[in-house]
Amino acid sequence: MKIKKRAFIPPMIIVLFIALAVVASMAGKPPEKKQNVKPAPMVEVKEVQPENMTFIVDSQGTVRPKHSTQLLSEVSGQIIEIADNFNAGGFFSKGDMLLQIDPSDYKVAVQQAKAQLLQAQASLEEEKARARVAEEEWAMFKDGEAPALGLRKPQLASALSAVESAEANLAMAQRNLERTTIRAPFDAILRSKQADLGQFVGSGSQIAMLYGTGTAEVRLPLSDLDTTYLDMPSEGKQPTVHLQSMVNGISTDWQGRLVRTEGVLDENSRVIYGVVEVDDPYNLEGNTHNATLRYGRFVDAKIEGQSVSNVMSVPTYAINEDSSVWIVDDERVLKHRTVQVIRTQSNDSIISSGLERGDKVVLTQLANPLPGTPVRLEGDPLPAQMESTAQKEQQSGDNKQSAESDSSEAGNEQTASNANR
């Protein structure tokens, strides 16, 4: 009987395989516990740049006429005629007739004054002739000097004064006749009227209130601090003022000039008033403005003040109470900067020092900001996205390492098989 030979595997080979299996099982890393990483807060920033700018001083006021007058009747009589536009809101040019008082009595007075003047002039000529005759008669006498009474000098002077008085009476009568026609003293709009057709008015009676349309004024309250940023108006230099108001739901602008200050502080508000003038507010001379600037309108005003250079502007809400700001550096962390604010206008603060060109000033209100706090800007990746990228890179490395390990095990098995043979 023939005995079959069995394959014999040396113990060393078995031990080697067991050792390789243990090493392979230990080489695999245990799964790491995933940590919840809180993302850095995203902030809004403004990249500042130095610029040149003009200070703007804000104020408010009501539009009023530069010239206004209460017309009074200078003569008495019945109103027999009024202008077609003699109503509130009617426009008049200088010299236009508003109303006519009955001139009949005044025409008669003019005729009487003319007659009195002619009579006085005739009396004067008569006295002149008598004076010449008296002078000739006294010339016949060689002795003595002719008295003034003998030459009729007092009578001549009396006749001359009578002529002058008659001329004055005629001028007064003609003036009263002219006053029966009440005319506009300047280009104006009728604000209100106190007389009408058929009404009898006496001397001094109120006729109408007129507002001049040539120039409008706006009184603007200014604090002491405001005046430090303004170039006060002087001869040949008047700061530009931009006025704004809503007209029919549309924001409308007008341009004026600061012509003077009143020079006295208001006792109640402790402010000084600057006066702005706007020419042709009702566009009567052409399209001076985009819209008419009506009297009584409330307007916001922006006065152009002094000019400065190399300053930076940031929203006022980005300035901390201690005159500092937070900026974001290139490493995306917060830094604290103290700044010098020289002016706050509208919603912006003007900074003269403390910032550099290109600094990113934080506009977002953070709860508890600290220097070195990491932040994100718009467009920066989220931490999850960064982790996903890292995992992909790690997985790629693990796959490469596993392939190398499989190749090594295959080589070992081949070596063992050759040894058994």
- What mean pLDDT is predicted for residues 224-246? 87
- Give the model's confidence band at 123: pLDDT under 50 very low, under 70 low, under 90 confident, else very high: confident
- What mean pLDDT is predicted for residues 305-326? 91
Above 70 in pLDDT, residue 67? yes
- Give the model's confidence band at 183: pLDDT under 50 very low, under 70 low, under 90 confident, else very high: very high
Above 50 in pLDDT, residue 384? yes
Report the 10 Å Cβ neighbour count for 296.
10
- What mean pLDDT is predicted for residues 123-141? 72
Arithmetic mean of pLDDT over the chain: 83
The pLDDT value recorded for residue 1 is: 45
Q: Of the given ranges (39-43, 50-54, 216-220, 373-377), which has the lowest mean pLDDT?
A: 39-43
Span 72-102, pLDDT tens digits = 999 999 999 999 999 999 999 999 999 999 9
Among candidate residues 368, 378, 371, the one with its CA nearest the CA of residue 327: 371
- The top-scoring range by mean pLDDT among 65-79, 117-131, 283-297 is 65-79
The pLDDT value recorded for residue 387 is: 52
297 — phi, psi (to 5°)? Answer: -75, 140
- What mean pLDDT is predicted for residues 198-211? 95
Distances (CA, A) of 324 to 191, 331, 348: 54, 20, 14
More confident residue, 265 or 183: 183
Q: From CA 152, how far away is CA 131, in angstroms rounded?
A: 5
Give the burial string for 319-353 (b: 16+ CB within 10 Å, else e).
beeeeebbbbeeeeebbeeebebebebeebbbbee
